[in-house]
Amino acid sequence: MTTENQPSVVPEGAARYALFMLTLAYVLNFIDRQILVIIQEPIKKELLLSDSQLGLLSGFSFALVYITAGIPIAYWADRGNRRNIIVLAVTVWSGMTALSGFARSFSELLLARIGVGIGEAGGSPPAHSMISDYYPPKERATALGIYSTGVHIGVLLGFLAGGFIAQEMGWRVAFMAVGLPGILFAAVMYFTVREPERGRWETAEEAQYTPTLRETIDLLMKFRSFWFLAMGCGLTAFAGYGNGNFTPPFLMRSHGLEVGEVGVLLAVFGGGGGIIGTLLGGKLADHLGAKDARWYMWVPAIAGILALPLTFPYLLLDNTTVVMGLLFVVTILINTYLGPCIAMAHALVPPAMRSLTSAILFFVLNLIGLGMGPLTAGVLSDYFSQTYGDDGLRYAMLIVGMVASVGILMFFMAARTIRADLEAARALTHT
């Protein structure tokens, strides 16, 4: 027996404003995370680093602390005030980004980036949960897709600002210039964004349910589709982060571009393509998935199939104009997965499990993607560069890009069981 929970009234403007502010927080998250990517060549020269060390800085070490802190913070967010947690997180990661500008060695920069990772661990899981309470199930993939564009808007702005500032004033000033504004934004968010009622769209029992960490994991273990989609996200992100974090050095080494030029080109073609792909993925999944939930998995799988063969000419051709056009198309296609996957993950669990479910999903995504992708690309680049010089990086990126093919298979596997798992989830939460 269940009691219907009448959704509390939230003005449409308030929901849109909250989504805007949460997306803007995600923009700042990725500006501060990805600023290192565009300025890593000047950092490498000044601090005398290897590509393997760059991979550790931009990937593995950051991801390790990010995923370690993410689950306990998400557990807190499923019980506490999610807006306040995000405000605190923005303040921490922004301050640590600014402090990165004072690093004098690899170890000092590593410690600062670990601080950024701790802060950013408190960003997305509570934001995902808030969005799922602001928007009904049929609109969630679209809303989460809009939120996820923060990744690519952040990349766009980070590349533009980082490339320009680093070229004109140095990489240290670039860290401080993008970090400090986040502290002011956190204060604005605290005073203007409302914490939504938890479980607005579910039954009263579901809304009041407060599960333990063990209960959340036990429930997710029942759904094979969750683990397949999580692996699909992780392997897609492995290729995305591995190649994305080394695209600026690739364009500088193999195409002879300057850091400022790379910043502009990647802002337009990389950031712009990512925004289009993320919005398109969420919108397509909500539209097609209204009749068949398998489309939530088929959309990123089909996009991946279209992107894979374009990776070869993108990395092997020497014509920079053609390469940037291919980068634009590939970036659109490989960024269709986040909105649909988060929406399906949330559809499988009660409201009080959503922050933690997002954290577990991002644990897998970031451990495989952000943790191993850039590190693998850096190690392979150091190895191939012994024989091929600067072109060693392009061959390393080619190998890393092919890993996305396994991610495509994972999305198709998730599609096979997603409908049965959604039915099972509904049966479990209505008994």
Q: How many Å from the N-terminal Cα to the C-terminal Cα in the chain?
A: 7
Q: Is residue 44 part of a domain?
A: yes
* Distance, CA of 169 to chain centre: 29
Rounded distance between C-alpha atoms, residue 326 and residue 309, angstroms: 11
CB 250 within 8 A of CB 394: yes
Q: How many domains does the chain have?
A: 1
pLDDT one-digit tens code per residue, 191-206: 999 998 877 766 555 5
243: left (phi over 0), alpha (psi -120 to 50) or beta: alpha
Cα distances from 291 to residues 256, 269, 305, in angstroms, run 49, 33, 23
Read off the pTM: 0.74
Rounded distance between C-alpha atoms, residue 310 and residue 328, angstroms: 11
Q: Is residue 50 part of a domain?
A: yes
CB 356 within 8 A of CB 216: yes
Q: Is residue 241 part of a domain?
A: yes
Per-residue pLDDT at 296: 95
Given CA atoms 30, 330, 308, 306 in this order, what sign does their dihedral have? positive
Per-residue pLDDT at 266: 85
Backbone angles phi, psi at 250, to 5 degrees: -60, -45
Residues 6+ positions from 225 with CB-CB distance below 8 Å: 297, 344, 348, 414, 415, 416, 417, 418, 421
Per DSSP, 353 falls in state: G
Per-residue pLDDT at 3: 43
Backbone angles phi, psi at 319, to 5 degrees: -80, 110
Q: Helix 392-402 to helix 373-388 angle, to the nearest 10 degrees? A: 140
Residues 6+ positions from 117 with CB-CB distance below 8 Å: 61, 62, 63, 64, 65, 66, 69
Given CA atoms 391, 395, 396, 402 in this order, what sign does their dihedral have? positive
Q: Is residue 6 part of a domain?
A: no
Domain that holds residue 120: 12-429
Rounded distance between C-alpha atoms, residue 307 and residue 239, angstroms: 11
pLDDT one-digit tens code per residue, 230-270: 999 999 999 998 998 889 889 988 998 887 788 888 888 88
Q: Is residue 145 part of a domain?
A: yes
Q: What average pLDDT does the structure give for the chain?
A: 87
Q: CATH number, domain at 421?
A: 1.20.1250.20
Cα angle for residues 80, 7, 296 (degrees, 5° grid): 80
Residues 6+ positions from 37 with CB-CB distance below 8 Å: 58, 158, 159, 244, 245, 247, 248
Residue 6 has pLDDT above 90, yes or no: no
Local confidence band at 2 (pLDDT 50, 70, 90 cut-offs): very low
Q: Helix 12-38 to helix 247-255 angle, to the nearest 10 degrees? A: 40
Query: What is the three-class DSSP state of 82?
Result: helix
Local confidence band at 98 (pLDDT 50, 70, 90 cut-offs): very high
Local confidence band at 429 (pLDDT 50, 70, 90 cut-offs): low
Q: Is residue 172 part of a domain?
A: yes
